[in-house]
Amino acid sequence: MPGNNRGFLAVLLPDRRLRIYVGLLTIQVVVYTIIIHHTFPLLEHRPMTWAEALFFVVETITTVGYGDLLPFSSQIMYAIVIFIMVTGVFTVLMIVPVMLAPYITALLQATPPHRTPHEMERHVVIVGYGELTRALIESLMIIDMPIVIVEENQEKARGVFRRYRKQLHVVWGDYGDPATWSNAWVENATNIIIDEKERTTAMIILGIRERTTGRIIAIVDDLGFDRYLRYAGAEFVLSPKNSTGKILGRHAVLRPDVDTIYEAISLDRMKISEDSPATSLKLIKVPIMEGCRSSGKSLRGLALFGRFGIDVLFFWKAGSFVMHPSGDDIIDTSTMLFLLGRANALNEVIETEFRADMPGEELAIIAGYGDVGKAAYRELTQSGINCIVIDRKQQEMPFVQGNAEDEQVLRDAHIEDARFCVLAVNDDDVNIFATLIARNQNPQLRILARANEASSIDKLYRAGADYVALLPTIGGQVVAGIVLSDIVQVLLDLPNGQKVVMKHFMKTTPATAGWIERRSGVRVIGIEGGGRSVIRPGAEEPVQAGDSIIAVGDIRALRRFIRLLSG
């Protein structure tokens, strides 16, 4: 029975503070009724029933005050009544706001719009809002393309409207209502990106595919739905989990034929120039492996630009990002270099400076064999690396059944002999704790971890991870790469909000690298075209129509850069 009473009160008074205040008021009414019932006859020499005492207390606390019992002959009685008034009214005033606050808030909150304020054309429609679409929006902000967010959840739509009020348009409506898509001008959109559950995504595609000629891009958790969604009308079906797994696997190996940075965005090879692939510019990530010759050296000692014509743009070290490297910086196995250079020079420097010479076979442990783990397993085995999987379910490949947080399970998987460990479990806390254990059992291990929440990135690095892939951000970058492919190529998203991009110079009048930097605010780091590849171009370096310009800058600078080069 007590449990039932608590349940009834929780339904009747759902707010905890309201239950406390109502309880306090009830106690006050009872205590004050007893006081009045006993003191009034003594001080005023008039009889009073319990009902009259209760009535007097209630009318006093609620400030109704009919005055039936006035005037009082005793000053003590006046003092008692004043005390009841003050304390009672104070409690009532605490109750009223708590009772009315939800209703007042609902009335004052702006209802998200049901349509855009004007007709839209050549815009992007994003259906559904979450961490992935937030990363996607940030990537799309570098171009002047209108964005419309369609969301059927009112609270989410209101939140998006408040967050991006001046940057994009929001349409709140039922996905099954044709008016919702009319209000978002889906028929005029160039791209429709859907980030909802697979069944909902299929229903949306079937409802809009006859109304639009734009590309329909479906984002899914499980690539097993690929063919069904393509049959429904999706041109692209992308899985952030599959992309994240590929990237984790590719960060465990160092191969001259893999341009990791571009693959982290488009999952395809980058060749800025097809005319002379040996001398075309490439932007790659180079992890410093245990046993490579460059470990322990300074950037000045490596002299990559003087010896190979390769520029060290930035680097990660022990979880910290260095935007402007200096010659005194020392690289070690916690370092990831970002290098810009010609393809043949990069191949040479990898072989001479960064190739790790380690005896024995390379072994990788993959913790978690979901979609992320499977993609990482395929990448690693294709690179000739032996893999042992840790998973709760039995698998066909070499595996250890258990939890990656268990020290004995890690030892059974030969963690002490492994070169790499990919933590692909769909639980950030598990990955953080497993990182601590794995790092303790094998200090030389290269740990590559998946993260679902941005708040987990720093914790994973502090626990000992060498690289962390944030799944929603990667998903947003993959989709943005498709949308932006006809305008600009985003090569790298930097943690300080800046980006590295590549765009063709479309103007017919020649210019210089310095002119582009002054007019846009970006830093030009490379130019390719006309049979030449230039790294660290000077201010007077000429730029002509058709040249590819690689630049780094923040959102505003890149917007000016794209407009400037578009002619």
pLDDT (tens, 9 = 90+) of the chain, 567 residues, equals: 444 444 555 555 566 777 787 888 888 889 888 988 888 888 878 888 898 888 888 888 777 766 667 677 788 888 888 888 888 788 777 777 766 666 666 555 568 899 999 999 999 999 999 989 998 998 898 888 999 999 999 989 989 998 888 889 999 999 999 999 999 999 999 999 999 999 999 999 999 999 999 999 999 988 888 899 999 999 999 999 998 999 898 887 655 444 344 333 333 333 334 444 667 788 888 888 777 888 899 999 999 999 999 999 999 887 788 999 999 999 988 888 999 988 888 888 888 888 776 655 789 999 999 999 999 999 999 888 899 999 988 888 888 999 999 999 999 999 999 989 999 999 999 999 999 999 999 988 889 999 999 899 889 989 999 889 999 988 998 899 889 888 888 888 888 788 999 999 988 888 999 999 999 999 999 998 888 889 999 999 999 988 999 999 999 999 999 999 986
| Number of continuous H segments (helices) and E segments (strands) in the chain | 21, 23
Residue partners of 506: CB distance under 8 A and separation at least 6: 545, 565, 566, 567
Look at residue 270 in the predicted model and tell me its pLDDT. 36
Tokens 């601590």: give the residue. 436
In whole angstroms, what is the distance from residue 31 CA to residue 67 CA? Answer: 21
Q: How much is the pLDDT for 64?
A: 74
Architecture of domain 284-354: 2-Layer Sandwich (3.30)
The alpha carbons of the chain give a radius of gyration, in whole angstroms, of 33
Q: What was the pLDDT predicted at 10?
A: 52
Residue from 217, 96, 97, 535 nearest 345 by CA? 535
- Which position has the token pair 């429709």? 192
Q: Tokens representing 495?
A: 């943690």
Q: What is the DSSP letter of 354?
A: I
Architecture in CATH for domain 497-565: 2-Layer Sandwich (3.30)
Looking at the DSSP bridge assignments, the partners of residue 364 are 387, 420
CB-based burial label for 514 (10 Å; 0-12, 13-18, 19+): middle
pLDDT (0 to 100) of residue 519: 94
Of 338, 278, 315, 287, nearest in space to 491 by CA = 338
Q: Which residues lie across from 191 on neighbouring strands?
A: 124, 215
C-beta of residue 465 within 8 angstroms of C-beta of residue 438: no
Q: How far apart are CA 504 and CA 546, in angstroms?
A: 6
2-108 CATH fold: Helix Hairpins (1.10.287)
Dihedral of CA atoms 146, 150, 153, 156 in degrees, nearest 10, equals: -20
- Please, are residues 381 and 333 in contact by the beta-carbon 8 Å criterion? no
Name the fold adopted by 363-473. Answer: Rossmann fold (3.40.50)
CB-count exposure of residue 94 (10 Å: 0-12, 13-18, 19+): middle
What pLDDT shows up at residue 316?
85
pLDDT at residue 364, rounded to an integer:
93
Cβ pair 279, 344 in contact under 8 A: yes
pLDDT for 194 = 96
pLDDT (0 to 100) of residue 151: 96
Question: How far is it, in rounded angstroms, from Cα 328 to Cα 395?
Answer: 48
C-alpha span between 199 and 108 (Å, rounded): 35
The CA–CA distances, whole Å, from 417 to 388, 453, 500, 565 equal 11, 30, 37, 52
Q: What's the half-sphere exposure (Cβ side, CA atoms, 13 Å) at 172?
A: 13
d(C-alpha 251, C-alpha 492), whole Å: 15
pLDDT at 258: 40
pLDDT of residue 359: 57
pLDDT, residue 73, reads 76
Contacts (Cβ under 8 Å, ≥6 apart) of 292: 353, 354, 355, 356, 357
Question: CB count, 10 Å around CB of 427?
Answer: 16
In the chain, where are the structural domains located? 2-108, 124-238, 284-354, 363-473, 497-565
8 A C-beta contact, residue 373 and residue 245: yes
Reported pTM:
0.72
Residue 547 CA to chain centroid, in angstroms?
34
Architecture of domain 124-238: 3-Layer(aba) Sandwich (3.40)
If DSSP codes are grouped into helix, strand and coil, which group holds residue 29?
helix
At a CB cut-off of 8 Å and minimum separation 6, what does 498 contact?
A: 323, 552, 553, 554
* Domain 2-108 identical in fold to domain 124-238: no
Looking at residue 320, what is its pLDDT?
A: 83
